[in-house]
Amino acid sequence: MLTVEQNEELTQVGPGTPMGELLRRYWYPIAFEQDFDSVLTKSVRLLGENWTLFKTPKSGRYGIVAEQCPHRRASLTYGVVHEDGIRCGYHGWKFDFDGTCMEQPAEADNQNFRDRVQQKAGQAQVMGGMVWVYVGPGPAPELPRFDVFVMDGVKDCGYTTLPCNWLQIMENSVDPHHVEWLHGYYFEFLGQTSGFDAPKSFQKKHMRTGFEEMEWGILKRRVLEGGSEENDDWKIGHPLVFPYFMRVGGAGIDQMQIRVPIDDTTTWKLFYSNHAPQGGEWEPQARPVFYEYLWKDENGRLITDYVEGQDIMAWVSQGPITDRTQEHLGRSDAGVAMLRKMFKENIKKVQQGEDPLGTVREPHEIIVLPCEKDKFGAEREFANAWINGGSMRYSPMKEQLLDLHERAWAGREKANA
Amino acid sequence: MPEVTGGAAPADTAREDTSREDTSRAELPPDPHRLPPPQAWFARDAERHLLDRPKFCPMCGAGITADGISTEYWSGDSRHFMTWCGHCHWFGEVVRFDMVTITEVEH
């Protein structure tokens, strides 16, 4: 339980808010490379502000500026893209990648008007088939090359836009007990009442959970019924990557769960997976496969017969912003309290002019995150359940993914025989 | 039975639960501390949170209302405030209880 003020501080992401200022110290994926195949600009919304993302026609460089032209407020998304910036379609004002106004065609140039209309601008880069942006103060940190986005394998990414605050999704990542209930017991109930077989691997009871602060966020560990501290689930665990990712994995699938705060009540939710089962063989991909997964049926009812749909039910049904003055946490919610403290702690760091947790300043090739490989002690079953019973069931390459894992498993069995 | 204050929902009388003493909204600090409407089902819990959460760091004594955070969770009859002080960075729990209970090992 929190006070109204604490809840507002933790959930408001707009410019000038404490959380908004913290979140502006990180890079975010906000579009896909393929979005620019036929048009060179795209309107995007991030942290409560509207932006124009653009790609230059020859060099393929990406830039991001505030969407509204400072002249008469027309959208720069309908502008002209040059190699050195973007020009407003309305009266031709031109801005470079830093937002500096370079031209005002209808104004006399022998004055300082241009210098007084610096447009808000950020930086943009491509990684893993996605366009990432940084819209905070300079100098921008390095774009963290987390393993899932740059490792070899077959990449598949489901996405959707959810009508809720990003923090209630993040809090789910430090709530291990929900797995055995939401994805275990409730899934089983749905299976029994709707006539399908719910996966069993999620039903194991949690015997112990642990949360440990680490350099990238919070490392989450668990011991499941029948397991021990020698299992990967405890010995390695997996991290909540501060402030908006969760890294999970197992059974030859590595996944980054991404929660982009679009504004206070909207989150872009992506499940970015890399498939590289031991012994598997695959062709190099030109680009990852991106697709939208469903979470509401034609009657407006939430779709809960798959894992991520169940999570979405839990996030969205809390309302646009969870009223934390009305919640009742228990001992099993210690991770949630720890995460809130981590946000508050890093808000303060930013206010004191320090880099917050997870800021990367050194160039690097890859950041390898700790993550269990053997998931719930159910390798083959788990890969199958994850693909068929998760958002990947909406993937246009679902059958190829199942085949990849099945052939890899058969090869390992043969090698071990 | 707790006194119903501020026109609580009728069903509130059946929620005699908690170990919390009666309170009057008059006890509550003035704005900017906003609360759910008094008839809200869990309004009393939010009131008690506002009144009972730690206001000062147990380690250094600095005010933590603005420069810190206390998340309340419940365990049995106890109310735990997982607290972080923005001044000295102390992180721990302040526990409020009405009765000390001790579980002894068998002997």
d(Cα A66, Cα A286) in Å, to the nearest integer? 31
- What is the model's pLDDT at position B95? 94
More confident residue, B56 or B103: B56
- Residues on chain B touching A357 (C-beta within 8 angstroms): none
| Confidence bin at A122 (pLDDT 50/70/90) | very high
The strand order across the sheet containing A130-134 reads: A28-32, A130-134, A123-127
- What is the model's pLDDT at position B10? 35
- Residues on chain A touching B36 (C-beta within 8 angstroms): 323, 325-326
In whole numbers, what is the pLDDT of chain A averaged over residues? 94
Tokens of B35: 């609360």
Whether residue B71 and residue A341 make contact (CB cut-off 8 A), yes or no, is yes
- Residues of chain A with pLDDT > 90: what percent? 81
The number of C-alpha atoms within 13 Å of A272 and in the hemisphere containing its C-beta is 25
d(Cα B5, Cα B38) in Å, to the nearest integer? 8
Whether residue B73 and residue A331 make contact (CB cut-off 8 A), yes or no, is yes
Cα–chain center distance at A370 = 17
| Confidence bin at B1 (pLDDT 50/70/90) | very low
- Test mutation, A167, A175, A332, A341, chain B, max B CBs within 10 A: A341
- What is the model's pLDDT at position A375? 62
Segment A146-163, tens digit of pLDDT: 999 999 999 999 999 999
| Confidence bin at B102 (pLDDT 50/70/90) | confident
d(Cα A245, Cα A322) in Å, to the nearest integer? 19
How far are the Cα atoms of A32, A97, A417 from residue A56, in angstroms, in the given order?
15, 11, 55
Segment A324-350, tens digit of pLDDT: 999 999 999 999 999 999 999 999 999
Confidence check: pLDDT of A7 > 80: yes
Segment A261-280, tens digit of pLDDT: 999 999 999 999 999 999 99
Confidence check: pLDDT of B72 > 90: yes
**Most distant pair of Cα atoms in chain A: their distance:** 82
Segment A39-80, tens digit of pLDDT: 999 999 999 999 999 999 999 999 999 999 999 999 999 999
ipTM for the predicted complex: 0.82
Highest mean pLDDT among A2-6, A171-175, A199-203 belongs to: A171-175
Residue type, A390: G
Confidence check: pLDDT of B26 > 80: no
Q: Which of A38-47, A74-83, A102-111, A208-217 has the lowest mean pLDDT?
A: A102-111
Whether residue B71 and residue A326 make contact (CB cut-off 8 A), yes or no, is no
